[in-house]
Amino acid sequence: MAATPSLEFDLNRLWCIAALLTLPAVGLAKHHVVIVQGLGGDPVYSGQFTEQVTRIEAAARSLPGDTAVHVLRDGGATREAFLALFSRLAEAAEATQLTAYFIGHGSYDEHDYKFNLPGPDLTGADIAGALDEVGTDDIVVVNTSSASGALAELVNKDRRVVALATRSGSERHATRFGGFFAAALASDGADTDKNKTVSVGEAFRFAARQVADYFEGNGQLATEHPVLHGERADRFVLARLGKPAPRPVAGRLTALFEQRDTLSADIDALRLRRDELSVTDYQAQLMPKLVELARLEAAIEAEEEARGDD
């Protein structure tokens, strides 16, 4: 690659620009991630849920840009705390993207779904109402609990992406989906397009395969059938793989990184709106941004070489 920034890109640089067209989108600005850990019921499940939440939190914190991570666990994971958090998000009116995880046990009595928490349980109606309050269409819901399929009709909307551990409320056994989904967020095996990110679609397909293999390998009838709703599952990134590059504290590199993050946020927002635009308009808006992004990457590379950075 060229050592100094230039608008004359070699074939590798042009290939990188083309590859950016297929990257899933991730909110770099005002993205809120909410992780709720429910009651385990016994030490085995409690330990499993804690491990899953730890992995999911690490994945959420790997996302660049202005991403706020909210974890409700132990005594802080109550219905009151959940509803209060979503009320604050709604009042702030700042979230442009929301990802909500529910890790725990659920129940369904043929009428109502409930996510098991200390004190009053969180109902399906509670969850649906809280999501509706946030004021953005760019919402991802991941519920790994038993009976989570009962949530589908309540939380599905045209532009949302919803991953559930079961296909209906009648699948009430403790699920294995959550463990496999959390593992996917740090797995190169889940990153099928090899772009060092794991999207909702990639994590779901990885976990669903593992669930099926588990029951088949043990010769057991499957008691859970994960389902994924939403056509945009591959546009939302849940984790970035590998060690993030260190950021300088000051100087030209800082400005270049800030410009790159701002432009990346613009590109991600445009990708999420691409169904609203004609192909011609979408390409006309996207290509200049990709060219500018590649120019910034070249400038960053040149500045790092000049500083002797790795």
Residues 283 and 225 placed together within one structural domain of the fold: no
Establish if 20 belongs to a structural domain: no
Q: How does residue 20 score in pLDDT terms, banded at 50, 70 and 90?
A: very low
Highest mean pLDDT among 23-32, 90-99, 176-185, 269-278: 176-185
Last residue of a domain, one of 240, 256, 271: 240
Please, which residues have CB within 8 angstroms of residue 126's CB and are 6 or more apart in sequence? 79, 82, 83
3-class SS letters over 125-166: HHHHHHHHHHCCCCEEEEECCCCHHHHHHHHCCCCCEEEECC
Establish if 11 belongs to a structural domain: no
Residues 58 and 195 placed together within one structural domain of the fold: yes
Strand partners, 237: 199
Establish if 46 belongs to a structural domain: yes
Residues 199 and 296 placed together within one structural domain of the fold: no
Which position has the token pair 């060092």?
Answer: 196
Nearest CA among 33, 49, 29, 161 for reference residue 85: 33
Domain of 103? Answer: 31-240
Establish if 9 belongs to a structural domain: no
Establish if 258 belongs to a structural domain: yes
CB 296 within 8 Å of CB 259: yes
Establish if 25 belongs to a structural domain: no
Establish if 1 belongs to a structural domain: no
CB 302 within 8 Å of CB 3: yes
Q: Is residue 199 predicted with pLDDT exceeding 60?
A: yes
pLDDT of residue 273: 75
Residues 138 and 250 placed together within one structural domain of the fold: no
pLDDT tens digits, residue range 107-146? 999 999 999 999 999 999 999 999 999 989 999 999 999 9
Number of structural domains (the chain) is 2
Residues 65 and 180 placed together within one structural domain of the fold: yes
Last residue of a domain, one of 220, 240, 260: 240
Residues 69 and 169 placed together within one structural domain of the fold: yes
CATH number of 207's domain: 3.40.50.1460
Residues 147 and 195 placed together within one structural domain of the fold: yes
37 phi, psi to nearest 5 deg: -105, 120
Question: Rounded distance, CA 69 to CA 113, Å?
Answer: 25
Establish if 21 belongs to a structural domain: no
pTM comes to 0.76
Last residue of a domain, one of 224, 240, 256: 240
Q: Is residue 15 predicted with pLDDT exceeding 90?
A: no
Residues 122 and 252 placed together within one structural domain of the fold: no
Please, what is the average pLDDT of the chain? Answer: 85
Residues 218 and 297 placed together within one structural domain of the fold: no
What integer is the mean pLDDT of 42-49? 95
pLDDT of residue 308: 67
Residues 113 and 68 placed together within one structural domain of the fold: yes
Residues 164 and 251 placed together within one structural domain of the fold: no
Residues 137 and 251 placed together within one structural domain of the fold: no
